[in-house]
Amino acid sequence: MAFKKWQLMNENKVLAEKISKTAGISMFLAEILVARDYDDEGVSGLFAADERFEDPFLLPDMGKAVERLRSAIEKKERIIIFGDYDVDGITSVVILFSYLEKHVANVSYYIPDRENEGYGLNLLAIEKLKQEGADLIVTVDNGIVATDEVNRANALGLDVIITDHHTVRGDLPAAVAVVDPMREDYPGFKRLAGVAVAFKLIVAMENGKWEDVFEDYGAFVCIGTVADVMPIVDENRFLVKRGLKLLESTQIPGLRALKSIAGLDGKTLEASDISFLFAPRINATARLNFTQLAVDLLLCKDETRCNELALEIEKKNIKRKKLEKQVLNEAYGYLERHPDELNRRTLVISNEGWHHGVIGIVAAKICDHFSKPCLIIGIDGETAKGSGRSVEGFPLIDAMNSLGDLFIKHGGHKVAVGVTLLTEKIAELRERLEAYAKENFEIMPIAPLIIDKVAEIDKLSIPNVKSIDILAPFGEGNRLPVFLLKNLMIGMIIPLCGGKYVKLRIDKPSNINLLCFKMTIDECIYSVGDVIDAVVSCSLDRYGVWEQLTVKVIDLRFSNFDQERYLMSRKEYENFKRNEGCEKVDLKPSRDEIATIYRCIRREKKPGDVDATFLKAFRLGVDYGKFRVILDILLELEIISLEEHIKINEMDGKRDLETSRVLALLN
């Protein structure tokens, strides 16, 4: 597991005091806003966004789209809503289909097959829809790059209205209307989800009157916006904040069934509930090629049938989790068998039969775990599909574009990509991606852990934490505030839920409990009396009129941990392993240092992982690079073994350090 780079935001107490007075907010909240680069005007705009919904007719071509759609309804022309298989695409289909069906349109929908058709408009689908009597296609959450497909539709006498939210590339398709906030000629807020654009089309059909139709469709707009990881700022803040309230009290049978199966009945909902509980269940149907199941649920009016469909979706989600776990374990297994892969700048891991529906989730977890750009590729005979995730500062789409000749097709953005290529090209992709990273990044970016402010424990009070609520809903572009607590002395270490989690009781400088949900009691390397720094988030648990402050740990370190020293030492070690030149004197350990680390490992009652053992080594004065070299020497001499954990091997006789090739390379 890679250490996160703790990055503390700037503070300006003078500006914070001014904002606190002018905006009438707590100093605690004002300091957070200043750390996020808000000034007086920015704070006013933040809160004004709660009431901001822009006129849909400001979107270019909206008038044309409304005119053509009204004509199709009046003439009973056959309308096809052409959607996508992710949550944004599914919710877009649901709201536009429901609206048009309510207005007695001759309407149906088409969602392409994930495995056989892929994303977006395609020529075969257009031919098929024309043969089946379609007169008008309305795309939702796709279409902005479908130039050839729209030209073919025009040649067949089939009109197309495009509603999308993706980036425009080159000329606009020759559609009847192209409604996309990413168009250069749109002056308004651009980061809308596809479902929000579809909703704006509905509002435009209602002559701009949004209130009543938001009651009908606002919960879906909220779900699609959060699930598509749109920034919860500006107009999205308006849509998500109001949509969450609608979702809490929804009477829509499909949403009620989904809430129930996710364990959210009666709960005050947050955007994170959509991200971690709603969206994965809907997405599971698409990942396993059962998209119709999700659409059926969200359109269904019968409560009994909805509950049945929700149970089916839950089964698909459980299957998705099993597939994901299988692929993730196999990917970790590959890295354990090939540990030198982790010294590369980038990771490309492939295997026959990996399910294409879960490789994106696995890529995200591997990227987060090792803080390296990662491509996970599932091989299917002569062709393969891959999904990639990246760290901030390494635009993965730029890398893929530079390697475009390797792919049958590819696409994506800075931190997420998808590729299709011939299986025989995977090895070349691995080496050329690594070469691209070496050429363009002397030092690879490391995922930052953004910290809003250093906080004293007594400042984490119920009134201060309650003052943060005004910033909700939290999510992309508006993260939950994160604080750094320094020099905390551990008074007690308490296992929770049979040791699955840990509670740290802090005695000094004052009493507080820290909940560690990402650490088991067996993984806890800390002891009573240790002094630590903790990065935390805070929340209030409400039980009627009673409130309790909860402090959740995001990351922990010993208080004397030197981050810059660690990063430089890590760089030297990785350069050494890549034969790229390093300061050998900084990496070469003495016999005493090797013996110290050996004794440190041997003293452990339970085998530890590399990072846990390093933290103990760091306290003994051994830098990361030198520590890793020592592990390499001990591995080479078969004194230890390293799979998931470091273990001391049973040996006959002593080992001679002079025979170590690793040590010889550092002379």
577 C-beta neighbours (distance < 10 Å), count: 18
Q: Cβ(137)–Cβ(163) under 8 Å?
A: no
The pLDDT score that the predictor gives to residue 278 is 93
For strands 136-140 and 78-82, give the pairing: parallel
87 C-beta neighbours (distance < 10 Å), count: 29
Question: Any bridge partners for residue 547, and if so which?
Answer: 542
* Ranges 117-126, 190-199, 273-282, 608-617: which has the least confidence: 608-617
Burial of 131 (0-12, 13-18, 19+ CB in 10 A): exposed
- pLDDT > 90 in the chain, percent: 73
> What does each C-alpha distance from 554 to 19, 258, 452, 482, 619 come to in angstroms?
28, 29, 13, 9, 21
Rounded Cα gap, residues 154 and 149, in angstroms = 9
Tokens, residue 413? 């953005």
Task: Find all residues with CB under 8 Å of 565, minimum gap 6, and list them.
Answer: 623
The pLDDT score that the predictor gives to residue 45 is 77
Q: How confident is the model at residue 606 (pLDDT cuts 50, 70, 90)?
A: low
* Ranges 130-139, 166-175, 253-262, 368-377: which has the least confidence: 166-175
Query: Higher-confidence residue: 314 or 413?
Result: 314
Whether the predicted pLDDT of 298 surpasses 60: yes
Alpha helices in 512-590 (DSSP H): 563-577, 584-587
Q: Cβ(383)–Cβ(422) under 8 Å?
A: yes
Angle between helices 591-603 and 610-619 (to 10 degrees): 120
Q: Cβ(407)–Cβ(421) under 8 Å?
A: yes
Task: Tell me the DSSP string of 198-267.
Answer: HHHHHHHHTTT--HHHHHHHHHHHHHHHHHTT---SHHHHHHHHHHHHHHHT---HHHHHHHHHTT-TTP
Query: Higher-confidence residue: 236 or 507?
Result: 236
Q: How confident is the model at residue 2 (pLDDT cuts 50, 70, 90)?
A: low
3-state secondary structure of 350: strand
Rounded Cα gap, residues 210 and 184, in angstroms = 25
Tokens, residue 234? 């500006």
Q: What is the mean pLDDT of the chain?
A: 92
Rounded Cα gap, residues 415 and 391, in angstroms = 7
Whether the predicted pLDDT of 1 surpasses 60: no
Q: Cβ(493)–Cβ(524) under 8 Å?
A: yes
Residue from 112, 57, 117 nearest 80 by CA: 112
Tokens, residue 303? 């409560």
The pLDDT score that the predictor gives to residue 127 is 96
The pair phi, psi for residue 641, each rounded to 5°, is: -125, 150
Give the mean pLDDT of 280-304.
Answer: 92
Of the CA atoms within 13 Å of residue 511, those in its CB half-sphere come to 1
Query: Higher-confidence residue: 392 or 77?
Result: 77
Give the mean pLDDT of 392-418.
Answer: 90
Residue from 628, 484, 454, 506 nearest 557 by CA: 484
Task: Find all residues with CB under 8 Å of 91, minimum gap 6, and list them.
Answer: 195, 220, 221, 223, 224, 227, 298
Query: Higher-confidence residue: 138 or 667?
Result: 138
How many degrees, rounded to 5, is the angle at CA 411 between CA 405 and CA 415? 115
The pLDDT score that the predictor gives to residue 605 is 65
Tokens, residue 610? 């590399």
How many degrees, rounded to 5, is the angle at CA 57 between CA 51 and CA 63? 160
Tokens, residue 198? 């579809």
508-552 tens-digit pLDDT: 777 789 999 988 998 888 999 999 999 999 988 876 677 888 999
> What does each C-alpha distance from 308 to 138, 261, 294, 304, 313 come to in angstroms?
31, 11, 12, 6, 9
Dihedral-angle region of residue 38 (phi above 0 means left; psi in -120 to 50 means alpha; beta otherwise): beta
556-580 tens-digit pLDDT: 999 989 999 999 998 899 889 988 8
Query: Higher-confidence residue: 510 or 625?
Result: 625
- pLDDT > 70 in the chain, percent: 98
Burial of 289 (0-12, 13-18, 19+ CB in 10 A): middle
Give the mean pLDDT of 456-479.
Answer: 91
52-96 tens-digit pLDDT: 899 999 999 999 999 999 999 999 999 999 999 899 999 999 999
Residue from 598, 586, 655, 582 nearest 624 by CA: 586
Give the mean pLDDT of 131-148.
Answer: 95
Rounded Cα gap, residues 181 and 204, in angstroms = 15
Whether the predicted pLDDT of 490 surpasses 90: yes
Long-range contacts of 288-292 (CB under 8 A, 24+ apart): 288/316, 288/319, 288/320, 288/323, 288/355, 288/357, 289/113, 289/114, 289/115, 289/357, 290/316, 291/85, 291/90, 291/111, 291/114, 292/111
Q: Cβ(444)–Cβ(345) under 8 Å?
A: yes
Whether the predicted pLDDT of 584 surpasses 90: no
The pLDDT score that the predictor gives to residue 447 is 84
